[in-house]
């Protein structure tokens, strides 16, 4: 490394100039190398063309992974995903601007009414399930147990010190310091906040009286932008606690949450199980697998604070080529292979067998015309 | 002179230097021929002493961070030089010396954060500054590896397009304002609204561009050129404003001289006015480019992102450096390392691109600018 | 400019096509800008209209548009003002240093370095603010709270993480320094040599020369530069979004955990996940930002106009 430092410094500048002049394309593209050769999810035949999706930024890494695996086995296909956010994703999907969408929340009733007739029936199923960790930074405490009521009080600012009796009662034998509790929340509207507040309101309605909302409903505490901001804030301050996507909180303490009579940490398996425990929203389309997550679940080994992000698609596409491409791509995203790849790269929980089956039923209905 | 813990070797020399100056009133027994001045060595020595005191203070009382150190040194030195100079050289010179200290301190104070920012970017960005980063796109890449080739091309193309649109419009508008409007209503309205235009939030510019193109191209239109339009909305006012300011500074004598020689108006403007102010205009344009090249939000809604490279700005999504950098930072996979490294490397690349543009612009302006006194 | 108002071509009466085309192009460019701006304004109004007419309960926050936007407008102005108060003297100082104090060779290099700082993307400033400035600000905030706590700006509970209005103001100040310095520098450089030399010849010290010749000459330019900087500070998005710990409502305390947000940052934070009326509300807040900029510029124009008798090319 040291030997070549000066050469290294010179290379980029020269390259930047020569590349600008040559515009010869990226080194990894023409040959099709550099991608994983494992995926042949589309069933032997390859598809071609370009499709685009837009939506939830939570799916960014998963979509990147699926795209890489899919394009590896279908070199002539290009899939794009703009992580512009769920709201924008739904809007663009409904306007027909994208072939598929990603959203942290299922379509609202008034949005369902806006689905264009050319779309046929709307397809909706959870494709990306990820546990939300209650991350904390407290010197000398590696294992923290909380229940919904205590958590709600902490986030509301009603519990001010870490050695509060309520926390002590749940953590017998743990030496809790008198550090001030600082709750951290997201200052940007997000699916994570929506799911977290949904949990608090469903399980501890006496304390957490505000309804689920993508925007933090109460004032007080600290706020930070995005998962990275929350993680950074918690990492920086002793006594800080907040909620963030579990894949990014590995270096922090993750609280175990009381479910029924036992305590459960944010593991992928425990998160995937909640989808099966939850009920499908009734009165919607045949291929609409929107679910209301059952937050007050009592079964052992289930983690209730999860975020389920959806894929939105149509049953009808204008031409055969697009229909084939969408079908092939979505099939790959829900395949065990695709789900495992996403789990490895993004830290999500692979969806369960029954959820996969539902998604496959819906995808099978995609056709041209 | 503030007393310091610095002892023996320096102290005597300082005091001997000062001994005579305190009794300057009578070396010649009457009026001095020259105003007494501080000995040349005194200011640097006082600076050193002030710095030493600041270090001692930093070690004992406050913490030893660069900002505090600089501020303490400046205050101590300023007080010392002002008092000594006031005694020896008179109040006017003392004020002059004090201002020099203040101005220099301001400069150094401003430089500190800037250096800190640059160091941070270079330190973290250097890790991925390799051949792969500049020759690979992100197509088919998960986790480690991959590069910003597509993003670099996208940023260069879109920025070039934006500049091509904005600079002529901006400069012509400024010319209109300074040379033609002469207090006309259009001129007044324009001046005012150009200022207002600087306050358009970047995301609004992006949404506007999308709305505009959707009218023609239907929903789902994504192209580099839409991004260029959005960025132009942000860039034009900056160009107009800085160019206008530079044109106003061209002395009227030059214009009058040119007219007196029978040169037509537009040639006077292009050959005399614009060339006299070319250095300032180029600086303004470079700053304007720097202002827009790092925009994220408007690009995401207009150009989208893709992992493949696309060099056609009139069709399809393009990757761009700021968007690339932002999402590598904000939405990393696990482990986080390679994503963050790419984010910093992209930021460093962006800065280097602007540096290069800046350098080229300076060469260009030196080539065109007339010789002046400075 | 009054001297050029008469017909310049008295000698030739033949029309000069070059002149006409050039004048036409210049006017056309100006008109084009107005059209674009009208387009943007029209777009904003069209998008904001549903929020303006919606019933207060439906608007984000549930208490009406004004209730939602006012604290944001307050935060926007407060942070921008802090930035301007810090950046204006600094930028004048830096520009003076580069033009009148530093040795010439070094001055060119220094000007280049300062320009470079404009090239740093705002996200980087945001991250730098969170990781470097915010922690460093904590002791300062504690000191301010202890000794100047009687002022409304310095509350009794300073933030332990430093994600405060004060830090945002400081970071914004640094972000707008390059632009302001560049304008000031160019303006100071244009001070007529003769004025400076005349002042020096009369025995003025360097500072007196600057006060008599350079500063009066550059005043309108300095105000102009400050307005450019203010425009950027008002509209800055990412850096504010990343640093500030926001809470709803108006907060005078600039060192606490609860800070009023800013309009641009709020749009960036809430826009991605918003849909329907929420988007309209955000656009309406964008419209308010538009008006704030408008008012600020009107004020600046007024100040410049009052003092224009001794500035610029006349």
Q: What is the CATH number of the domain that holds B298?
A: 1.10.3720.10
Tell me: do B253 and B119 sit in the same domain.
no
Residues 6+ apart with CB under 8 A from A22: none
Contact (CB, 8 A) for A328 and A41: yes
CB contacts, 8 Å: C249 with chain A: 219
What residue numbers bound the domain in which B196 lies? 135-368
Flag whether B24 is in a domain: no
SS (H, E, C) B103-119: HHHHHHHHHHHHHHHHH
Strands A256-259 and A145-146: parallel
Q: Do the Cβ atoms of C313 and B248 come within 8 Å? A: yes
Flag whether B7 is in a domain: no
Which two tokens mark C38? 């009208």
Report mean pLDDT in 10-residue bins for chain B, 374 residues: 39 40 49 70 83 81 72 85 84 86 84 82 87 85 84 93 95 92 85 79 83 80 90 92 85 89 89 87 85 84 83 86 87 84 90 84 77 54
CB contacts, 8 Å: C36 with chain B: 233, 236
Q: Do the Cβ atoms of A16 and B329 come within 8 Å? A: no
Residues of chain C with pLDDT under 50: 1-11, 13, 309-314
Point out the least confidently predicted range of A37-51, A258-272, A307-321, B320-334.
Answer: A37-51
Of the candidates A167, A189, A170, the one whose C-alpha atom is nearest the C-alpha of residue A178 is A167
Tell me: do B118 and B190 sit in the same domain.
no
For A301-348, write each residue's pLDDT tens digit: 899 999 999 999 999 998 899 999 999 999 999 999 999 999 988 889
Tell me: do B174 and B291 sit in the same domain.
yes
Tell me: do B104 and B174 sit in the same domain.
no
Tell me: do B206 and B309 sit in the same domain.
yes
> Please, which pLDDT band fits residue A62 given cuts at 50, 70 and 90?
very high
CB contacts, 8 Å: A229 with chain C: 130, 242
d(C-alpha B48, C-alpha B244), whole Å: 45
pLDDT for C29 equals 92
Q: Which candidate from A27, A69, A227 shows the least CB-CB separation from B136?
A: A27
**Rounded to an integer, what is the distance from CA C186 to the centroid of its chain?**
18
d(C-alpha C170, C-alpha C87), whole Å: 9
CB pairs under 8 A between A and C: 82
Q: Do the Cβ atoms of C207 and B191 come within 8 Å? A: no
C-alpha distances in Å from residue C212, one per residue of C207, C217, C310: 9, 9, 12
What residue numbers bound the domain in which C119 lies? 54-306
Q: Which candidate from C163, C271, C272 shows the least CB-CB separation from A224?
A: C163
Secondary structure (3-state) at A193 = helix
Contact (CB, 8 A) for B165 and B239: no
Residue A205 touches chain C, beta carbons under 8 Å: no
**Rounded to an integer, what is the distance from CA A76 to the centroid of its chain?**
28
CB contacts, 8 Å: B141 with chain A: 28, 34-35, 64, 68
pLDDT at residue A251 greater than cutoff 90: no
Residue A57 touches chain B, beta carbons under 8 Å: yes
Residue A346 touches chain B, beta carbons under 8 Å: yes
Residue B168 touches chain C, beta carbons under 8 Å: yes
Q: Is A294 buried (19+), middle (13-18) or exposed (0-12) by CB count in 10 A?
A: middle
Assess: ipTM above 0.95.
no
Which two tokens mark B29? 């027994």
pLDDT for A1 equals 38
d(C-alpha B341, C-alpha B337), whole Å: 6
CB contacts, 8 Å: B137 with chain A: 26, 28-29
pLDDT for C51 equals 84
Of the candidates C152, C8, C181, the one whose C-alpha atom is nearest the C-alpha of residue C94 is C181
Number of helices and strands in chain C (H, E):
12, 0
Put simply, the chain A residues between 4 and 23 with a CB less than 8 A from any chain B CB are 8-9, 11-13, 15-16, 19-20, 23
Residues 6+ apart with CB under 8 A from A315: A119, A120, A121, A122, A123, A287, A365, A366, A367
Separation in Å, CA of C55 to nearest CA in chain A: 18
Tell me: do B75 and B204 sit in the same domain.
no
d(C-alpha C273, C-alpha A291), whole Å: 19
Q: Do the Cβ atoms of C257 and A214 come within 8 Å? A: no
d(C-alpha A86, C-alpha A104), whole Å: 6
Tell me: do B340 and B193 sit in the same domain.
yes
CB pairs under 8 A between A and B: 152
Phi, psi (deg, nearest 5) at residue B137:
-95, -175
Given CA atoms A176, A180, A186, A191 in this order, what sign does their dihedral have?
positive
Flag whether C49 is in a domain: no
Which two tokens mark A221? 């505490």
Residue C215: is the preceding peptide bond cis (ω within 30°)?
A: no
**Interface residues of chain C, partner chain A, Cβ below 8 Å:** 60, 130-131, 135, 159-161, 163, 241-242, 244-249, 257-258, 261, 268-276, 278-279
Residue B137 touches chain A, beta carbons under 8 Å: yes
CB contacts, 8 Å: B306 with chain A: 78, 80
Residue A96 region by backbone torsions, left for phi larger than 0, else alpha for psi between -120 and 50, else beta: left
Overall number of domains in chain B: 2
> Please, which pLDDT band fits residue A128 given cuts at 50, 70 and 90?
very high
Contact (CB, 8 A) for A327 and A110: no
Residue B127 touches chain C, beta carbons under 8 Å: no
Flag whether C22 is in a domain: no
Flag whether C47 is in a domain: no
pLDDT for A40 equals 39
Flag whether C213 is in a domain: yes
Q: Do the Cβ atoms of B245 and C186 come within 8 Å? A: yes
Secondary structure (3-state) at A257 = strand
Domain boundary among B88, B123, B158: B123
Contact (CB, 8 A) for C269 and A214: no
Separation in Å, CA of B140 to nearest CA in chain A: 4
Phi, psi (deg, nearest 5) at residue C246:
-95, 145
Residue given tokens 């010789």 in the structure block = B371
Q: Do the Cβ atoms of A233 and C249 come within 8 Å? A: no
Flag whether C294 is in a domain: yes
Greater confidence (A60 vs B15) lies with A60
Which two tokens mark A334? 């829900």
Locate the DSSP E strands across chain A. Answer: 49-55, 77-82, 100-103, 122-137, 145-146, 182-186, 222-224, 240-245, 253-254, 256-259, 262-264, 279-280, 291-292, 306-314, 316-317, 367-368
The DSSP result for A335-353, as a single string, is: SHHHHHHHHHHH-PBPPPH
Tell me: do B150 and B94 sit in the same domain.
no
d(C-alpha C169, C-alpha C134), whole Å: 11
Which two tokens mark C124? 């980087």
Residues 6+ apart with CB under 8 A from C286: B201, B203, B204, C44, C48, C263, C267
pLDDT for B165 equals 93
Flag whether B306 is in a domain: yes
Put simply, the chain B residues between 335 and 364 with a CB less than 8 A from any chain A CB are 336, 349, 352-353, 356
Flag whether C14 is in a domain: no
Tell me: do B166 and B47 sit in the same domain.
no
pLDDT for B4 equals 39
The radius of gyration of chain C's CA atoms, rounded to the nearest angstrom, is 24
Interface test mutation site (partner C, options A54, A59, A87, max chain C beta carbons within 10 A): A87
Length, in residues, of chain B: 374
d(C-alpha B85, C-alpha C253), whole Å: 42
d(C-alpha C92, C-alpha C217), whole Å: 13
Contact (CB, 8 A) for A118 and B366: no
Residue B92 touches chain C, beta carbons under 8 Å: yes
Residue B182 touches chain C, beta carbons under 8 Å: yes
Residue C103 region by backbone torsions, left for phi larger than 0, else alpha for psi between -120 and 50, else beta: beta
Tell me: do B95 and B208 sit in the same domain.
no
Q: Do the Cβ atoms of B190 and C33 come within 8 Å? A: yes
pLDDT at residue A63 greater than cutoff 90: yes
Q: Name the residue in chain C with its Cα closest to that of B240.
A: C30
Residue given tokens 């743990």 in the structure block = A174
Overall number of domains in chain C: 1
DSSP state of C98: I
d(C-alpha A39, C-alpha B138), whole Å: 18
pLDDT for B371 equals 64
pLDDT for A148 equals 92
Of the candidates B199, B206, B190, B367, the one whose C-alpha atom is nearest the C-alpha of residue B297 is B206
Flag whether B34 is in a domain: no
Contact (CB, 8 A) for A333 and A68: no
Flag whether B36 is in a domain: no
Tell me: do B182 and B302 sit in the same domain.
yes
Flag whether B252 is in a domain: yes
Kindly state the greatest CA–CA separation across chain A: 69
Flag whether B27 is in a domain: no
Of the candidates B241, B232, B243, the one whose C-alpha atom is nearest the C-alpha of residue B161 is B232
Q: What is the CATH number of the domain that holds C82?
A: 1.10.3720.10
Residue A101 touches chain C, beta carbons under 8 Å: no
Residues 6+ apart with CB under 8 A from C246: A187, A223, C259, C260, C261, C265, C266, C269
Given CA atoms B319, B320, B326, B328 in this order, what sign does their dihedral have?
positive
Residue given tokens 């007044």 in the structure block = B188
Greater confidence (A99 vs C228) lies with A99
Tell me: do B263 and B328 sit in the same domain.
yes
Q: Do the Cβ atoms of C268 and B248 come within 8 Å? A: no
pLDDT for B49 equals 87
Separation in Å, CA of C275 to nearest CA in chain A: 5
Flag whether B12 is in a domain: no
Crossing angle of helices B278-293 and C104-117, in 10° steps, is 30
Contact (CB, 8 A) for A325 and A44: no
d(C-alpha A215, C-alpha C243), whole Å: 18
Number of helices and strands in chain A (H, E):
12, 16
Residues 6+ apart with CB under 8 A from A39: A69, A70, A72, A73, A332, A337, A338, A341
């Amino acid at each position: 490394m040291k030997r070549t430092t000066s050469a290294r410094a010179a290379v980029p500048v020269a390259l930047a100039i020569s590349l600008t002049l040559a515009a010869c394309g990226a080194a990894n593209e023409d040959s099709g190398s550099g991608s994983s050769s494992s995926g042949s999810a589309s069933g032997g035949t390859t598809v071609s063309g370009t499709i685009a999706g837009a939506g939830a930024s939570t799916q960014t890494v998963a979509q990147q992974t699926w795209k890489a695996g899919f394009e590896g086995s279908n070199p002539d296909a290009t899939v794009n995903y703009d992580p512009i956010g769920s709201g924008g994703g739904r809007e663009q999907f409904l306007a027909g601007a994208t072939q598929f969408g990603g959203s942290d929340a299922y379509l609202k009733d008034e949005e369902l009414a806006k689905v264009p007739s050319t779309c046929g029936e709307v397809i909706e199923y959870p494709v990306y399930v990820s546990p939300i960790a209650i991350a904390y930074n407290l010197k000398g405490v590696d294992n923290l147990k909380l229940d919904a009521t205590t958590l709600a009080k902490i986030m509301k600012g009603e519990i001010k010190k870490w050695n509060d009796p309520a926390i002590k009662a749940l953590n017998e034998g743990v030496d809790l310091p008198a550090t001030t509790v600082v709750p951290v929340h997201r200052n940007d509207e997000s699916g994570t906040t929506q799911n977290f507040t949904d949990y608090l309101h469903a399980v501890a309605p006496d304390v957490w009286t505000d309804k689920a909302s993508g925007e933090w409903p109460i004032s007080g505490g600290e706020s930070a932008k995005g998962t990275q901001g929350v993680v950074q804030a918690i990492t920086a301050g002793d006594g800080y606690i907040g909620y963030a996507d579990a894949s990014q909180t590995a270096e922090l303490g993750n609280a175990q949450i009381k479910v029924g009579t036992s305590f459960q940490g944010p593991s992928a398996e425990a998160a995937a199980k909640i989808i099966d425990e939850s009920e499908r929203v009734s009165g919607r389309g045949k291929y609409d697998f929107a679910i209301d997550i059952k937050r007050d679940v009592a079964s052992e080994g289930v983690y209730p604070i999860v975020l389920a992000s959806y894929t939105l698609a149509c049953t009808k596409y204008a031409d055969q080529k697009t229909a084939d491409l969408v079908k092939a791509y979505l099939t790959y995203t829900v395949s065990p292979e695709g789900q495992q790849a996403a789990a490895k790269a993004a830290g999500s929980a692979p969806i369960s067998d029954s959820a996969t089956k539902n998604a496959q039923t819906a995808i099978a209905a995609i056709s041209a015309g | 002179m503030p007393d310091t813990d610095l002892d023996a070797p320096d102290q005597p020399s300082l005091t001997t230097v000062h001994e005579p100056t305190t009794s300057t009133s009578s070396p010649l027994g009457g009026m001095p021929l020259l105003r007494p001045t501080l000995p040349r060595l005194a200011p640097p020595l006082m600076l050193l002493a002030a710095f030493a005191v600041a270090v001692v203070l930093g070690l004992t009382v406050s913490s030893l961070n660069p900002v505090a150190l600089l501020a303490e040194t400046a205050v101590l030195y300023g007080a010392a030089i002002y008092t000594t100079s006031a005694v020896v050289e008179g109040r006017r010179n003392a004020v002059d010396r004090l201002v020099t200290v203040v101005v220099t301190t301001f400069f150094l104070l401003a430089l500190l954060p800037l250096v800190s920012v640059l160091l941070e970017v270079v330190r973290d960005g250097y890790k991925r500054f390799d051949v792969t980063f500049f020759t690979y796109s992100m197509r088919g890449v998960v986790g480690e590896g991959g590069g910003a080739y597509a993003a670099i091309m996208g940023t260069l193309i879109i920025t070039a397009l934006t500049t091509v649109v904005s600079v002529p419009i901006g400069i012509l508008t400024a010319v209109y304002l300074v040379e033609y409007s002469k207090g006309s209503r259009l001129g007044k309205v324009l001046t005012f609204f150009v200022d207002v235009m600087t306050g358009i939030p970047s995301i609004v510019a992006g949404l506007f561009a999308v709305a505009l193109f959707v009218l023609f191209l239907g929903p789902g239109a994504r192209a580099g050129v839409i991004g260029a339009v959005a960025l132009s909305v942000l860039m034009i006012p900056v160009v107009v404003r800085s160019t206008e300011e530079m044109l106003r500074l061209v002395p009227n004598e030059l214009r009058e001289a040119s007219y007196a020689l029978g040169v037509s108006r537009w040639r006077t403007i292009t050959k005399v006015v614009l060339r006299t102010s070319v250095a300032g205009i180029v600086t303004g344009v470079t700053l304007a480019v720097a202002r827009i090249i790092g925009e994220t939000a408007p690009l995401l809604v207009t150009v989208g992102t893709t992992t493949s490279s696309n060099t056609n700005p009139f069709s399809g999504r393009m990757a761009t450096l700021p968007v690339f950098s932002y999402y590598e930072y904000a939405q990393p996979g696990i482990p986080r390392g390679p994503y963050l490294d790419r984010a910093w490397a992209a930021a460093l690349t962006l800065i280097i691109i602007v540096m290069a543009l800046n350098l080229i612009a300076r060469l260009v302006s030196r080539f065109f600018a007339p010789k002046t006194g400075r | 400019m009054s001297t050029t108002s008469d017909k310049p071509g008295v000698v030739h009466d033949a029309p000069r096509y070059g002149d006409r085309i050039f004048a036409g192009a210049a006017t056309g460019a100006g008109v084009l800008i107005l059209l674009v701006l009208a387009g943007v304004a029209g777009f904003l109004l069209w998008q904001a209209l549903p929020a303006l007419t919606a019933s207060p309960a439906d608007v984000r926050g549930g208490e009406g548009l004004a209730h939602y936007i006012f604290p944001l407008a307050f935060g926007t102005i407060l942070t921008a003002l802090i930035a301007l108060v810090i950046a204006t003297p600094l930028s004048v100082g830096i520009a003076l240093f580069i033009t009148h104090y530093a040795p010439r060779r070094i001055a060119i290099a220094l000007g280049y370095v300062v320009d470079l700082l404009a090239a740093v993307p705002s996200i980087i400033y945001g991250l730098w603010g969170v990781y470097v400035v915010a922690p460093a600000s904590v002791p300062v905030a504690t000191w301010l709270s202890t000794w100047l706590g009687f002022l409304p700006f310095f509350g009794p509970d300073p933030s332990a993480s430093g994600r405060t209005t004060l830090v945002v103001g400081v970071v914004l100040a640094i972000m707008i320094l390059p632009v302001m310095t560049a304008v000031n520098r160019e303006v100071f450089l244009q001070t007529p040599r003769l004025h400076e030399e005349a002042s020096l010849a009369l025995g003025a010290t360097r500072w007196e020369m600057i006060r008599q010749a350079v500063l009066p000459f550059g005043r309108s330019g300095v105000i102009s530069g400050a307005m450019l900087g203010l425009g950027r500070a008002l509209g800055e998005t990412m850096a504010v979004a990343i640093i500030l710990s926001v809470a709803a409502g108006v907060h005078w305390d600039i060192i606490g955990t609860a800070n009023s947000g800013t309009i641009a940052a709020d749009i960036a934070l809430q826009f991605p996940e918003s849909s329907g009326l929420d988007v309209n509300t955000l656009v309406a807040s964008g419209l308010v930002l538009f008006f704030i900029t408008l008012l600020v510029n009107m004020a600046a124009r007024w100040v410049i106009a009052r003092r224009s008798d001794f500035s610029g090319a006349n």
